[in-house]
């Protein structure tokens, strides 16, 4: 089978397409013929060896895909060959940027017929991150004001959609007017490169500040968020694509009763918490019933997967980047 492989950690990263033996599913495992795979910024940190979880080499990138069940190992009861499925490698084992991948049954989910494989490949990981952040970690309530930083990216766009479903007033931020024009559902947008973020948030909230910040960017945006947050507000730390992890101002946290909350949505699943898996099933139900509508942003050919990662690093991408695998 054809697969993209990382053989050493480096910056800039080096990926190569190669031929590998087709894997064989063991007990409780499923062999999937992938037709689309999602690309994520976090993978680029794996490539240069700076991610918090470093996989063994050689490494096949991507932890999210959609395709068809090819065969099942002993003990698999939920799927049969030919089933359309979505995949989320909860343990970050990678493997999706290949024609075939093997996954435990627990990491495989039914794919709605209404979704293309490209759209389905965007579904589980990003939506689960935002669902866990806003519902379980941030306790976002109807009527509250939610600011979503990086709303033009793959994970931020899902936070806008889920925030609206929860009844929040959503302010989307980004660094490009062109990309912000693609954000659907937000009540207001702020270009933080051309507008004073703090002043605009305070203006839109009558001087009170936002109740919840969803922050995959960090750095200066986190600092500004601390200066425009409502009493009792929550900042959800989802990542730091800016390259600078921010430091919380504990004096502001004390005086305004602000909570800074880390979001690593996989932990509730990896630790086997019933609550985490129940939340994931609820989120998937939202997708199956059409309450959420996953949609691929920019689509790359299989042979251009490395270009897709470079495009993400350029910060010019719109929505979730996906690779189609013929």
| Dist. CA 45–CA 313, nearest whole Å | 10
CB 199 within 8 A of CB 209: no
Rg of the chain over Cα atoms, rounded to whole angstroms, equals 20
Same fold for the pair 2-123+294-324 and 126-267? no
Residue with tokens 């089933």: 83
Look at residue 224 and give its three-state secondary structure: helix
Give the start-to-end residue ranges of the domains of the chain.
2-123+294-324, 126-267
Tell me, what's the pLDDT at 244? 87
Bond from prior residue into 58 cis (ω within 30 degrees of 0):
yes
For 140, half-sphere exposure in the C-beta direction (CA atoms, 13 angstrom radius) is 30
- Fold that domain 126-267 belongs to in CATH: Rossmann fold (3.40.50)
CA-CA distance, 1 to 255, in Å (whole number)? 58
Cβ proximity of 101 and 23 under 8 Å: yes
Comparing CA positions, the residue from 278, 314, 285 lying closest to residue 298 is 314
List CB contacts of 152: < 8 A, sequence separation 6 or more: 172, 174, 175, 176, 179, 180, 182, 183, 318, 319
Phi, psi of 312 (to 5 degrees): -60, -45
* pLDDT score at 221: 95
DSSP letter string over 71-106? Answer: EE-TT--S--TT-EEEEE-TT-----SBSEEEEEGG
Would you write out the chain's pLDDT as a tens digit for each of its 326 residues? 999 999 999 999 999 999 999 999 999 999 999 999 999 999 999 999 999 889 999 999 999 999 999 999 999 999 999 999 999 999 999 999 999 999 999 999 999 999 999 999 999 999 999 999 999 999 999 999 999 999 999 999 999 999 999 999 999 999 999 999 989 999 999 999 999 999 999 999 999 999 999 999 999 999 999 999 999 999 999 998 888 888 898 998 999 999 999 999 888 788 867 888 999 999 999 999 999 999 999 999 999 999 999 999 988 888 899 999 99
Residues 81 and 70: beta-carbon distance below 8 Å: yes
- Whole-angstrom Cα distance, residue 260 to residue 257? 10
Look at the chain and count its residues: 326
- CATH T-level assignment (fold) for domain 2-123+294-324: Quinone Oxidoreductase; Chain A, domain 1 (3.90.180)
Extract the tokens encoding 171.
């302010």
């Amino acid at each position: 089978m054809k697969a993209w492989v990382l053989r050493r950690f480096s910056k800039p990263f080096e990926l190569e397409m190669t031929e590998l033996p087709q894997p064989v599913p063991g007990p409780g495992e499923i062999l999937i013929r992938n037709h689309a795979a999602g690309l994520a910024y976090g993978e680029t940190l794996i490539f240069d060896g700076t991610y918090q979880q470093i996989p063994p080499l050689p490494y096949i990138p991507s932890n999210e895909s959609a395709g068809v069940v090819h065969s099942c190992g002993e003990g698999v009861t939920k799927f049969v060959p030919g089933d359309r499925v979505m995949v989320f490698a909860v343990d970050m084992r990678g493997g999706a940027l290949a024609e075939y991948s093997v996954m435990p049954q627990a990491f495989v989910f039914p794919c709605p017929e209404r979704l293309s494989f490209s759209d389905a490949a965007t579904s589980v990981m990003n939506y689960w991150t935002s669902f866990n952040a806003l519902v379980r970690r941030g306790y976002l309530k109807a009527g509250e004001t939610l600011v979503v930083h990086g709303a033009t990216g793959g994970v931020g766009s899902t936070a806008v959609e889920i925030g609206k479903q929860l009844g929040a007033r959503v302010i989307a931020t980004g660094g490009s007017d062109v990309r912000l024009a693609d954000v659907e559902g937000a009540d207001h947008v702020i270009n933080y490169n051309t507008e004073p973020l703090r002043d605009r948030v305070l203006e839109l909230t009558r001087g009170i500040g936002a109740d919840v910040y969803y922050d995959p960017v960090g750095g200066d945006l986190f600092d500004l968020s601390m200066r425009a947050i409502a009493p009792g507000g929550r900042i959800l730390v989802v990542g730091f694509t800016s390259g600078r992890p921010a430091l919380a101002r504990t004096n502001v946290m004390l005086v305004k009763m602000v909570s800074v909350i880390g979001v690593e949505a996989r932990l509730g699943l990896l630790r086997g918490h019933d609550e985490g898996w129940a939340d994931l099933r609820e989120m998937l139900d939202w997708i199956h019933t059409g309450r959420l509508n996953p949609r691929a942003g920019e689509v790359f050919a299989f042979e251009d997967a490395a270009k897709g990662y470079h495009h993400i690093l350029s910060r010019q991408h719109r929505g979730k980047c996906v690779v189609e695998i013929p």
